[in-house]
Amino acid sequence: MSATVLLEWNFTPPDYFEEAIAILRHDYAMNIADGKVEAKIESSIFTSNSSIRQALHDSLNDRFLGVQLLTHRPYELSKSTITRVHPDGRREMSIELESACFVISGGSVDFQVTDKDGNVIADSKRDRIERKKSLAELVSAHRASDGLLGAMLRSYDAGVRDPNNELVHLYEIRDALSVKFGGEGSARAALAITASQWSRLGQLCNNEPLCQGRHRGKTGEVLRDATEAELAEARGIARAMIEAYLQYIDPQNLQGSS
C-alpha cells in the first residue's frame, strides 16, 4: 500500500453549495461540504505531477465562480494544506498561514409545490442546487481553456467584491462579448441575446446618472445610487450573457441548468 496525499481547503460561507458534492476523477477524489474541501491523491501521482496542487485549486475556484453567477455572494477559499498519510498511519502535515476569511450572511426563501396527493412537483431549493452543480461543473470544465470565459467571470466577481463600481465591471462582460464576436449584431446573433437586453445593460451602465456607473459626472445630472431593482436587473442580464456564452461553447451540457 502506498502513501496518500490529502489536500484540504476551508471556505466561507460554509453553505455556498448548500449540499455535499463528491467528485471522482482518475487521479483524485474530492469531497466538498460544510466549509471544507478534501482531495485524496496517491502519493506517486502527487510527486510526479508538480502542478496538480495548483490545478486542483484552480478547478475548485472555478466551481465557486460558477455558483457565484446564481448567488451574487462573495466567497473566500483558503490555500490548501498538505498531509501525507503513510501506510502505517503516520501523518506529515504542511500548512501555509494566511489572513482570516470573512463570513457574510444572506439566504433564499424556498418553496415546494405539491399536487393534490402530496407529491412534490416543484422544489425551488432542489432546482437551485441543481443549477449550482451544473454551472460549477461547466465553469470548471471550460474556464482554464477559454480566456473570454475567465475574463467575464473575473468581471462578475469584481462586481460582487467592488460594489461601488459594480456597473463598470458588469459592462465589461458585454464589451468582451462584442470584441469576441466582432460587434453587437454578431454577438447577439451567436448567443441569442435580445436587442432589449443588450441595450438595457448599456443604458444602466452608461446612460443613467448612477454612482456605480461608467460615466458618472459626465451626464451633467445629479448622481444617485442605483436602486436594488436596477442592480438586480443589470446582474441578471450580465449573468444571462455569460450563460449564453456557456451554452455557445457547450450547448449540450448547459440545457439542463437553465
192: left (phi over 0), alpha (psi -120 to 50) or beta: left
List own/partner pairs for 22-30 with CB under 8 A and 24 or more apart: 27/52, 28/52, 28/56, 30/56, 30/60
User: Is there a domain that residue 134 lies in?
Assistant: no
Instruction: State mean pLDDT over 227-234.
Output: 96
Q: Which of 79, 94, 109 is the last residue of a domain?
A: 94
- Model confidence over 120-132: pLDDT tens digits? 666 778 788 888 9
Residue 206 domain flag: yes
In-domain check, residue 106: no
Q: 3-state DSSP call for residue 68?
A: helix
Angstrom distance (rounded) from CA 33 to CA 61: 15
pLDDT of residue 114: 67
Last residue of a domain, one of 94, 128, 162: 94
- Reported as a single tens digit per residue, the pLDDT across 134-146 is 999 999 999 999 9
Mean per-residue pLDDT, 201-219: 88
Phi and psi of 83, rounded to 5°?
-125, 125
Q: How many domains does the chain have?
A: 2
pLDDT tens-digit series, residues 152-196: 999 999 999 999 999 999 999 999 999 999 999 999 999 999 999
**Cell, residue 121:** 412537483
Identify whether 81 is part of a domain. yes
Asked whether residue 115 is assigned to any structural domain, the reply reads no
Could you report the per-residue pLDDT of 23-53, keeping only the tens digit for each?
Answer: 999 999 999 999 999 999 999 999 999 899 9
H or E segment at 39?
Answer: strand 36-42
- Say yes or no: 75 and 158 in one domain: no
Residues 57 and 155 reside in one and the same domain = no
**Domain presence at residue 100:** no
Per-residue cell: 18: 448548500
Q: Are 150 and 248 members of one domain?
A: yes
Is 104 within a domain? Answer: no
The reply to whether 35 falls in a domain is yes
Q: Which domain holds residue 41?
A: 4-94
Place of cell 454551472: 135
The pLDDT value given to residue 68: 96
